[in-house]
Amino acid sequence: MKTPIFTGSGTAIVTPLSAGTIDFDAFARLIEDQAAGGTAALIVCGTTGEGATLTPEEHEALFRFAAEKSAGRMKIVAGIGSNDTAAALDMARRAEQTGADGLLMVTPYYNKTTQAGLIKHFTYVADRTALPIIVYNVPSRTGVGVAPETYAKLAEHPNINAVKEASGNIGQFARTVALCGDGLNFYSGNDSDTVAMMALGAKGVVSVASNIVPEAVSRLCALCLAGDYPAAAALNREYMDLFTALFWEVNPIPVKTAMAMTGLCSGEMRLPLVPMGEAHKAAMAEVLAKHGLLAKENM
């Protein structure tokens, strides 16, 4: 059995920006909010953190800053994914030097590859890093998905620790868990799937919503880990409107818009991401107001 990097709520934390550069003061405040909210891990420079438009130097700076500010209170998982295996390895080696506890590695996008290629891609990096790897499966973005049989093969590698499963295919996930047993740890990659996936054995979630409601997502995971699924389901129903709203447009456009409305950060993004559409923005304000999250100046 592989020891999970974390259990419970992991936040796919945004990268706050100001005038095109990283706003480290805002990032520090977000880290403190996450620690206070019971978050178990910070996933830095993932999809929500706009890792695809950050330079290698910015990645490294964010990994190091998060590790230093967390000071052991939360695990730090560094996003290193690339469609270039050599580039992913380079980022893994950078992450090793910053105090990160693990790596999040997405399936290669655009050039994609086969199932055999996925095995080689992940094992190539796993053979050459000391940090445990979380395989990130999000076929809606990358155009390639990991088959259950491929997971079973990856589970044989001692340094491939876990999976962030964001396919939304619960039936396929159940089959994967049955095939892999204790060979991999699993995390939900979608807030709306967390309860179902934890009921099937997932250890927690890599969450977008916890950027805004860390306490609620942490509590949701705690209820699941305690086996209180009726209470978890009730809490899930309470926040389903927010979970849904955060994916009305391409992530992280909605969550950064919501965070600007709640006063957590500026909401600035890098191209090709653009501001949220006005209709969705107005509807987002209604959802946030319902949950008492809207900053006073936006009410």
Catalytic (active-site) positions: 136, 164
> What one-character DSSP code corresponds to residue 4?
P
From residue 102, give the alpha-carbon distance in Å to each of 74, 148, 207, 232, 252. 12, 23, 16, 28, 22
Tell me the C-alpha distance between 194 and 178, whole Å.
Answer: 18
Tell me the C-alpha distance between 242 and 105, whole Å.
Answer: 27
Question: 251 with 208: CB under 8 angstroms?
Answer: yes
Question: 207 with 6: CB under 8 angstroms?
Answer: no
Tell me the C-alpha distance between 146 and 115, whole Å.
Answer: 7
Tell me the C-alpha distance between 6 and 189, whole Å.
Answer: 14
Tell me the C-alpha distance between 42 and 10, whole Å.
Answer: 6
Residue type, 271: L
Tell me the C-alpha distance between 284 and 258, whole Å.
Answer: 7
Q: In what helix (H) or strand (E) does residue 104 lie, and over which residues does it extend?
A: strand 102-106
Strand partners, 188: 165, 205
Could you give the 3-state DSSP secondary structure of residue 77?
strand
